Structure 1
Amino acid sequence: MRPVFLPFEARPMPAISPAEVARRYQKLFRSSDEPEVRIDALNRLSNIQSLSGEDIGFTPEEETTIYREAIVSYESILARGSFSGRLDELLYQMAKAHALTGQPEQSIMRLKQLAGLYPESPLAPEARFRVAESAFSDGNYRDAEAQYQSVLEIVDGDSPLSSKARFMLGWSQFKQGVGAWDRAAGNFITVLDGFLPNQESLQTVDRSSIDTIDDTLRVLAMMAARTDGAERLYAWLNASDKRHWTYIVFDRLADYYAVLGQYEASVAANHAFVRYFPNHPHNPAFMAQVADVWQMAGKPAKVRAAKADYVAQFAAPELYHSLSGAEQSRWVEFSRQLGDFNYHVGSQALAAGDHARAQEAFSTAASFYEALAGRTDASGEVLRLAGDARLQSGQYRAALIDFQQSAYKFGGHPEAADAGWAAIVLLREGLDGRRQAPGFVTNIDALAHEAERFGVNFVGDPRLTGLLADLAVRWFNKGNLERAIGNAQNVVARDAATGSERYAAWQVMAKARQQRGEFELAEQAWNSVLGALAGGEVTAAEPGAASAAKNQLATVIYRQGEKAAETRNTDAAVRHFERIETVLPHSEIAIKGRYDAANTLLLALQYPAAIDALTRFRRDFPRHALAEDISDKLVYAHVSAGDPSSAAEELLSAATTEVNPWPARLKAAALYHEGGETGPRNQLYRAYLGTNPVANSADQHILHQTMRQRLMESGDSSPDLQQALVDKELASQWHSEETLGWAARSALMLGARAAATFTAIRLTHPLAQSLDRKQSALEAARKRFIEAEKLGDELVRSESLFRRAELYRALAQDLMASAVPADLNEMEALQYQMLLEEEAFPFEEKAIQLHADNHQRITALGYDAWIGKSLDALAQMNPGRYDRTVRWMTWTVETNDGA
């Protein structure tokens, strides 16, 4: 009986275990002598094993033995030329049997028969694949390429055999050398496209495909590395970035170079990918891999450069946020490493004295630290480091911003207060000129604002009080007294303030109050300054601080005295002025206070008190410069108090020390005159006039003449005094009505005295001698009267003319009345008498003429008593003309009303 062959169909397995079915077919193979039955049993075992996926059937050792036996059956069937089953399957099984029994040539021959005789057989693709594999194994790569290509032509593209054939086709082309690599690359790329068709496939690769994919990637990388590297790979990929696995093959290329030790080529491959695909999401990994490659190469400088490139590449906010969490962490790590490294380099360079290199390194470190801000939990700490690096690189403006952000924007870290304080120190040093750089301009307002922010955020910081004290000093120096006082008050109100800080604050308050004219508050502040110094709390007081504070305290007390004096509060002013002595005894300002107290009393018209204060001041400080005018003030006080005599005595006392005492003595004389004490006054006048003073001005001339006149008025009728009065007036170029009148009257008095002398001379014999004496006396009297006329007014002239006329009249009368010599006879006596008349006549005529001249003045000047006396004399001397009764009337011209 011929064996029945059941066609294999993909249908559900019967309700029996595959192992049991396999056991029965194994038994059938061993028990049957029919070749067809045995071959069919083997086919069924193979199909059951494929369908169930279980490891059933014969063991490998049994299978080799079984297939040796099966070969005999196969050959028997072929030899008979008849087979009820499919010959393609028979040939396939024979090929398998030859392969398993170590007969590869016979196996390939049967496969070729199968493919050639039955090209449409389902087994033909596998047969061809096996033939291609045999050619590949034999090194016949061109034949293998053709066989693999033929497989691809007859199999479905989704078939597993298709991907295997494509994979081996690529390897066949690869084995043919560089000339075939472009064809091989295309097939390998197709293989990868098949295994990795989309993004999700990268995460769901079948385990059985991993080795194939890995080998494909490896061979692509190897081919690219042996030709033009990344450029050739990019060309094979047709410059497309749409394949989801592109980055993997570039990564394999970079790894391949690295494994070979070709580090620069590996770096170039990584860079090439980033360059070819600038927006690829895996660019960060490639950039980071550059650093890893240089790390493998032992090139630390290039490692840092690669990390710096990575940081720079993704520093922009939008690029950084596009990174994955791991990549962001890597970016942060690289930035911190680079910042720390450059900071270390800067520190070393600074220690070595290489300032230029240090500045460059610190600046670079700061840039990395600043980029970390907001991207790390330690933003505050790294910004403080950035600020310190900027500071040491001389970039003060950037340092200030870093410190501020570290303290306030990213505050809360342990170093936040130090960062805030660093900003304050930087501003303060910039304000002092110790930190200067382009773009870094600061002022006290910025420092004050920073201090206020520091105080709000770090209330308990012990440095705050010192800062406020420093600000108080700065505001004071700036002229902003209000803010200076505010800061100083803040300092002294703090319990944590040290003695030195309180001392500085009190000083500012004292000075500011003093400048604002708030002297009472300033006094309190200066007392606090002295209290701080006395308490020993000030650790670094400047030498002489206490003395300076006392001086200022005395000053503000003095200013209070001035202020009170300005408001006419005399008692308060004097009290303030005098209490300076209790603060700073024997000091210049205390002496001045005593002096001003006396002046204040003087200005307040409290003369007795002022005199007492001035007297005490001169007694206590006789050699002080301010004592020089005490005498004048005492004089003024005595005069103002109505005691000119005491003022005069003060002047005389002061004059004893003067080189030229006479100005003071003359003032004293004037005061004696004012007080009605003519005795001491006249004594001073006589002493002064006894020095024969020369007048150099009208005032001096008048003063001298006044002295002489007052002496005469007080009873001193000395001819010398009168003579001096007249002579000085005649010789002077300066005159006044009074001095002229005084001099004229003195001249008249001197003339009258001379006239009396003239009258007292009697004409005796010898007449010529006595007449000469009388005429000389007449001339002396006449000159005095002439001088009076020069000096006096019209009334004086009237008197002078009268007295001059009377001199001549008296001389004529005396001549006429003179005795006739006794030794003359009557005739001679008569003749002598006639001679006397002739001698007397001219004098009488002269007298008449002078009286007449006086009389003629009536028409111009009117009538006065002396003119009247001249008329009486004329009536006696010329009665025919002048002895008549007349009445003198004053003629008044009245306005004619036209009548």
Structure 2
Amino acid sequence: MIPSRCPHVSRIPLVLVFASLLSCTACSWFSSSDDGRGRTLADLPESRLPDVKTKVDVVDIDRIEQSYRRALAAAEEPQLRQQIMQRIADLEMMRSERAQLDATDVRRFYDKPVTMYRELLELQRNNPQPVKGIEADQLRYKLAKALSLDGRNDEAAQVLDQLAAADTQSPFLAETQFRRAEKAFSEGNYAAAEAAYSAAMTSGDNPQLKQNALYMKGWTQFKRGDYDLSLLSFAQVMDQLLGSSGAPEAMEQALIDLGAAKTNLVSDTLRVMGLSLSYLEGPKSITDLQAKLGGKRPYEYMLYQQLGQLYLEQKRFTDSAETYQHFVQHNSDSDFAPSFSIKTIEVYQQGNFPSLILPAKQEFVQRYGIRSNFWTARKGVIGSIATMYLHQSLQELAQYEHAQAQGLKAAKPADAAAAYARAANWYREFVQTFEKDPQAAEMTFLLAECLNEAGDLPGAMEAFERVAYEYRDPIRGADAAYAAVLLPQTLISRAQEFPDAKLMEWQERKIENALRFAEVYSADTRALPVLADAGSDLLAQQRFSEARIVAERVIAWQPPADGKLLFSAWLILGHSLFELKDYSQAEQAYTQVLALHPAHGNKPGAPSAQQVRERIAASIYRQAEASLEFGDKDTAISQLLRITQVTPDTDIAIKAQYDAGLYLMEQEKWSQAENVYLGFRQKYPQHSLTATLPAKMVLIYQSQEKWQLAADELVVMERSSSDPEVKRQSLYMGAELYEKSGRRTQAIEQYRRYALEYPRPFANNLEAQHKLTELYQATGEQDKRLYWLQKIIDSHRSAGAAQTERSAYLAASAQMELVQPSLDEFNRIKLTLPIKNSLQRKRAAMEKALKGQEQVLGYGIAEFTTQASFQIGEIYAQLSRDLMDSQRPRELDELALEQYDILLEEQAYPFEEKAIEIHQANAQRSWTGTYDTWVKRSFDALAKLLPARYNKQESRLEVSNEIH
């Protein structure tokens, strides 16, 4: 609720205010002392006991007045008489004040001084020679006081108005204007109050009074709803109190230096400014205010605090949070920025917005954490509260993402990996920020685990090493060290996943970590197996040429090696040949491995028979790739299809058949590609690649102009895809192809579903609706067509910023068609007797028809604007004609009938004039280049309505060139 007044400006009765003002002309509602607190006990002189021997004469007003009255009776000079009368009037004023203070009833006490002051003013007006010591403005001031003390406020106000008008240089002018403003304010006349406060601000030399006037001027503007102006006035007050420049951090001391009274004034000014801002555009209005003031103010943060707290008290949590965010966005380098960011989070917590708290804390860390400019500029000294909140937030963010990742791990591994990466980021930042913190070792271990789960194995390895050998954490050190041994081997085995693989470095790292583990954590049961596995062989080090030679020697060894060694040798040979890209020989080696597998393939770490078949398939697949590199696609396709015969149960066989189809499509061998993929679909109905076939089959069928089959494939895509965009495009393209194949029913169903399920992109949605109107027109389902015409109009209207010229065109076209019935209804109604009834129906139909055509005009589409303009002109012209063609009462004689016709013509004439005006406006569009059927028809209509002007026949002047 808006307060009626600032609490510092209490509603003091006018009578007492005048008594206060006239007893001390420099006073106001606020103290004028330097510190803003007024005089205190310390300012009083030292107390002393009075001298009991000293006698104080009692002043008798009556005796003094009698002396003055005797002097008045004896005085003859007019100027002296006026001076004596003023003394008597002042004495009467004192007597009246004393009587009023002593009275126990309510009555008028000041009639005598009022009469005398008015008499003196009259003498002053009639005396051309000024009386020394008597000024008219002073007399009016005293008269106004007397009237006010007597409760005659309206009369007092008139006297003050006279004073303000009569003497613009009066020393009483500033206070007079202030009093006039106060009266106007109390009466709710805020415009007059504002003008008077403004006058008070420019009069006199009392800075405190001027400040009060400025403050109250702001209130008048606030009361009038001029919140922008009131903000400017209150800002000037704040500038006077706190200064317009300086460091915001100095404001706290500045408030202390102001003293209690002016501190309260600051608080109240901020409060009303907060209200004004809440009635405008909130925090945006603060930045607008700063721009109007010509720059930022040191107390700007107080405005944000006030507005944010006001919103919070009103439980407008979102507005409160946005206010604090606005400050941070526009004052990112301010020392107050962290506390405002914290306030934002606290508001979300109070408002119970859990979904916003986490992003807000993320933003807090990004703005003020170790990687931020804020941190860098301050070299990490960001304040104890911000540091503590950063410590807490980093832990909470890391723990939240870690928990999210664990929950997603089973169902959504890809999402889990991303969550682990985010958790690792927060753990890493915590360790970097608080590297000496007691929790650093634990956080580093959790960092390593998250990096491992996220797939950042090198980073995980380094983090585990730090826990194991830098922190030597007694709780987690051994587990971290063991993980540091396993990770290099994992990196080697998954080397193809890392584009910057460093196999030799990882191998050396594995050996080094194994040795360190055995040394530092020798009591651990895993130490011996790790140490025993510290060696590596040629194949593990990817020294394939050397490994090939060794393998061939093992195979050729005499006496032959036992089955297990032979199995391993052929396996190493196959791997080496494969890595050396001798795929034909590798295929033969893997074939030998497969032959030996039943007897010797069961040893730990040995590949399964299926894996060997996969390697054979991979070797053939690589041969196909080599053929492709030489440009021999036919051979490559044959090799790919051979895989499906040699190792049909391998994953590569699946990929080979799939790729063979791709290469057939590249060669535009559509029929063969169709057969390959139909076979693929039949053999591998559940394979993930099968889900990708519909898109390829669409292209294959389109290339062969099998429109319906292509559309059927799109239906499969739309139903099976989990990608919303693929589903959307498939549905729309399917509708187009069904339409192209002549399957109207399916096309309608597809377009209808698209229009209902995919409002975005707006353009496609609108075109689907348009297609439905065309298809329903073709099927003769007019009701459904009308429904979708109206739907087009509604969609365009609700599209907002997404509206386009195309949507406006379609909406205008639909609107033109939908309003046609109202136009037909208007034309159908004839004016029959009784004319009043039929004319009433005609006018109602006319209003409806005009409204419909005006709706068409609202779209601003030239093609329909000219048509609607023509129709509006014709509506008025038709009403004019119908009036003239209406039935006449049969009982009229010739003279009455003539008069009746004249009356009808008078009624019809304005409509004909309106029709002419509208047709002329439509015809004038031709002047700017718009000339279509409807502009032409407006010209034709004008030729009938104004034939003298618009139905002129072109005349031709024949010129003779004959020389006479």
TM-score range, shorter chain: 0.3 to 0.5
What TM-score does the superposition give when structure 2 sets the normalisation length? 0.39
What TM-score does the superposition give when structure 1 sets the normalisation length? 0.42
Higher relative CO (Cα under 8 Å, sequence separation at least 6) belongs to: 2
Structure 1 or 2, whichever has the larger Rg, is 1
